[in-house]
Structure 1
Amino acid sequence: MNLYVKSISKSIKGEKVLDDISYTFESGKIYGIYGKNGSGKTMLLRAIAGFINTDKGYIKYNHKALHKDMDVLPDLGAVIENISFWSMYSGFENLKMLSNIKGIVSDEEIYEIMIYFGLDPKSKKKVNKYSLGMRQKLALCQALMEHPKILLLDEPTNALDQHSIDLFRERILEEKKNDTITILTSHNKEDIEILADEKICMEFGKIKELM
């Protein structure tokens, strides 16, 4: 199933942050969005995720329109801006509480994704004691643990060491085999060069060019 973004625009305090964007994102492909700070990359991901309403245009998935037929996209995994966790609980406890919402992930699967990214699921360490890199790994765990059909990843390798970046890339390429639509932004051009099937440049809220 494809994700259709059609003629969406968004203004905040009179400033246009998304300007008539249309794009079709296909299943089984990875899309890399790059551009300067303020170009609209994160705002586009927020719009697709359903975190904001657009002023015009529509977003459709599986023949259903966002904010009309559904409040948020189904089968969505996302890391957009700062992820909020329950700071006084451990990493595993956080993922367990999040997994209870849908009830489709076992404890063993949570263990697997945490161990994959180098986090100890048995640790009692509270998230408020996590380093920035550990919090980023936990954010990736919550986005990936349910094997979503749509992945929205804003600067996913931020604060990760090279080994963790390599693990992330391997995992994203594995998810691609499950026909996942992956849309990521990154200041690390190597992420986009290695992962993206299609590259999208944004500038001033517009899609400037495709590669």
Structure 2
Amino acid sequence: MLAHIQLNQVSKSFKGETILENVNFSVERGKIYGIIGPNGSGKSVFFKLICGFLLPDQGSVIVDGEVLGTNKRFPSNFGIIIDRPGYIAGKTGFENLKALALIRNQIDDDKIKQTMRMVGLNPESPQKVKHYSLGMKQKLAIAQAIMEDQQTLILDEPFNALDADSVETIRNSLRKFREEGRTILLTSHNQEDIDVLCD
């Protein structure tokens, strides 16, 4: 069976410092994978390579049989949270997601609102994103990563700044996505997230 994501002998350095060296990694569809390691161990760089944001110095990243960086720079149908996403501070959460949704024009306002409610945000709220708490910004990041029913989710610390109820809500959503056959790669500082979610 063709691997969904395959890294072959991938190496990446910055300013002479090796971050990843000869990494081989294979991902099957429909599973949740957890990536653990201390800060600075290269988790975000690893994710950026899989998403085509960075290209390897050596080796290849292959998604669904296509090498990233040749004809195809970015994999399609990926929902991504890496680092802190940037938003338009003077707009509401809904207005921000609407602007992103218009890029591909695949979903309507109802779908955006439904996704916001699912992660615990009120789509009707007049509150601007510049006044959002860290937890609210995190929920907005999760909403943008899942609102277009992306089939592969690359989530770097998705539970950051979330309260216990929100963590449980998002965990349940991720389990449901796996049952639907979606593929999820995530990092977490909390071992429990890894233990209860990952295959």
TM class by shorter-chain length? over 0.9
Q: Distance in 1 between matches of 2:71 and 2:91?
A: 35
Residue among 188, 191, 195 paired with 1:189? 191
- Could you tell me which runs of 5 or more consecutive residues in structure 1 were left unpaired when the two chains were aligned: 198-211
The aligned residue for residue 60 of structure 1 is 62
Q: Deviations over 1:18-56 (max 9, x none)?
A: 111111101000000111111111110111111111101
Conserved in 2, the CA contact under 8 Å of 1:10 and 1:56?
A: yes
Pairwise CA distance, 1:177? 2.0
Q: Which has the higher strand share?
A: 1
Q: Deviations over 1:42-85 (max 9, x none)?
A: 11011111111110111111221111121111001011011101
The aligned residue for residue 93 of structure 1 is 95
Give the residue type in structure 2 aligned to 1:78.
Answer: I
Alignment of 1:42-81 (within 5 A): 42-81=44-83
Aligned residues: 197
Conserved in 2, the CA contact under 8 Å of 1:59 and 1:66?
A: yes
Q: Distance in 1 between matches of 2:44 and 2:188?
A: 10
The aligned residue for residue 140 of structure 2 is 138
After superposing the two structures, state which structure 1 stretch, 182-191 or 65-74, moved more. 65-74
Pairwise CA distance, 1:179? 1.9
Q: Distance in 1 between matches of 2:101 and 2:29?
A: 24
Normalised TM-score (structure 2): 0.96
Normalised TM-score (structure 1): 0.91
Q: Deviations over 1:84-130 (max 9, x none)?
A: 01111100001011011111112111111111122110112111110
Conserved in 2, the CA contact under 8 Å of 1:147 and 1:175?
A: no
Conserved in 2, the CA contact under 8 Å of 1:29 and 1:181?
A: yes
Residue among 119, 122, 134 paired with 2:124? 122
- The alignment's C-alpha RMSD in Å is 1.0
Q: Distance in 2 between matches of 1:148 and 1:22?
A: 25
The aligned residue for residue 10 of structure 2 is 8
Pairwise CA distance, 1:168? 0.6
Q: Report the identity percentage.
A: 40
Give the residue type in structure 2 aligned to 1:48.
Answer: I
Pairwise CA distance, 1:142? 0.2
Q: Distance in 2 between matches of 1:27 and 1:118?
A: 28
Q: Which has the higher contact order (CA 8 A, sep 6+)?
A: 1
- Could you tell me which runs of 5 or more consecutive residues in structure 2 were left unpaired when the two chains were aligned: none
Q: Distance in 2 between matches of 1:122 and 1:145?
A: 17
